[in-house]
């Protein structure tokens, strides 16, 4: 990804809108008895599209914003989302999965890591509530719900960041196949 001021601006806007949407609407709508959590999906999508370093930075900033807005312990969500953004970026850098459903798997894994990581950190910070099966059920249902949302969220992030992404060889191949190797603009 080409890091420009415009790209940073878009990422910031994406993060801000996603966080506000999450806090004001999505957190208040429950499906399967749990609300969806867009945070790990957005961060994982950004990491998956842009790479590990921008993903980690985006995750850190997004987490910091969430912690601030929710008056939570600063640094907790940042730490978890940094790891998610970095991990998703590394998956792209190391494997470069071509399958169309790869973002779904990444989104599901990111949600599971976020849920388990936040739970673990809360216990490490001294939460004294006993761990019940209810917590496990909540995490499982959130993962299922986020898995269903992973693809649309990824598509949205990709659309927002498309001008700054390196040209995808697969996309280039598809365009060559359908236009005879010429750009639609040059044919016109």
Partner 1 sequence: MHDKVVRRRRAVLALLVALSLLLLTAYFGESSGGGLHAVQRGSLEALAPIQEGANKALKPARDLFGWFGDTLDAQDERDRLAGERDALRSEVAQLQVANRELEQLKGLQEMNTTGGLQQYDPVQSRVYQRSPSTWFQTVTINKGSSDGVAVDDPVVNGQGLIGKVKSVSDGNAVVMLLTDQDFGVSALAPKRGEPGSITPIAGSGSGELLFDLVDNAEEVQTGDLIVTAGTSSARLPSVYPRSILIGTVKRIEEGDGELDRRVHVAPAADLLHLDIVQVLTSPDANLRADATRAP
- By CB under 8 A, tell whether 79 contacts partner 1: yes
3-state secondary structure 59-115: HHHHHHHHHHHCCCCCCHHHHHHHHHHHHHHHHHHHCCCCCCCHHHHHHHHHHHHHH
Q: Which of 121, 56, 120 has its CA nearest to residue 88?
A: 56
User: x/- binding map, residues 30-59, to partner 1, per CB under 8 A?
Assistant: xx--------------------xx--xx-x
Q: Which stretch binds partner 1 (CB under 8 A): 72-80, 99-107, 134-142, 153-161?
A: 72-80
Distance CA(47)–CA(145), nearest Å, equals 20
Distances (CA, A) of 102 to 24, 60, 106, 147: 29, 23, 6, 11
Q: Which residue of 69, 120, 131, 162 would you call a contact of partner 1, by CB under 8 A?
A: 69
Distance CA(115)–CA(109), nearest Å, equals 10
* For partner 1, the closer CB: 100 or 166: 166
Q: Which residue of 71, 98, 133, 188 would you call a contact of partner 1, by CB under 8 A?
A: 71
Q: Which residue of 4, 9, 20, 137 would you call a contact of partner 1, by CB under 8 A?
A: 20
- By CB under 8 A, tell whether 2 contacts partner 1: no
* For partner 1, the closer CB: 47 or 107: 47
Q: Which of 52, 36, 50 has its CA nearest to residue 3?
A: 50
Q: Which residues bind partner 1 (CB under 8 A)?
A: 20-21, 23-25, 28-31, 52-53, 56-57, 59-60, 63-64, 67-69, 71, 73-76, 78-79, 82-83, 86, 125
């Amino acid at each position: 990804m080409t890091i420009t001021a415009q790209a940073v601006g878009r990422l910031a806007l994406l993060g801000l809108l996603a966080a506000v949407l999450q806090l004001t609407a999505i957190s208040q709508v429950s499906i399967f008895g749990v609300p969806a959590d867009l945070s790990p999906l957005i961060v994982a999508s950004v990491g998956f599209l842009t790479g590990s370093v921008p993903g980690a930075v985006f995750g850190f900033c997004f987490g910091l914003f969430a912690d601030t807005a929710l008056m939570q312990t600063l640094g907790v969500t940042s730490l978890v989302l940094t790891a998610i953004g970095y991990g998703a970026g590394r998956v792209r850098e190391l494997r470069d999965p071509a399958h169309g459903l790869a973002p779904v798997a990444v989104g599901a894994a990111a949600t599971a890591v976020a849920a388990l990581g936040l739970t673990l950190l809360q216990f490490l910070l001294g939460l004294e509530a006993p761990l019940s099966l209810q917590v496990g059920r909540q995490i499982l249902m959130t993962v299922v719900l986020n898995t269903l949302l992973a693809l649309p969220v990824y598509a949205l992030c990709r659309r927002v960041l498309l001008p700054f992404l390196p040209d995808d060889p697969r996309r280039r191949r598809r365009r060559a196949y359908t236009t005879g190797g010429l750009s639609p603009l040059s044919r016109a």
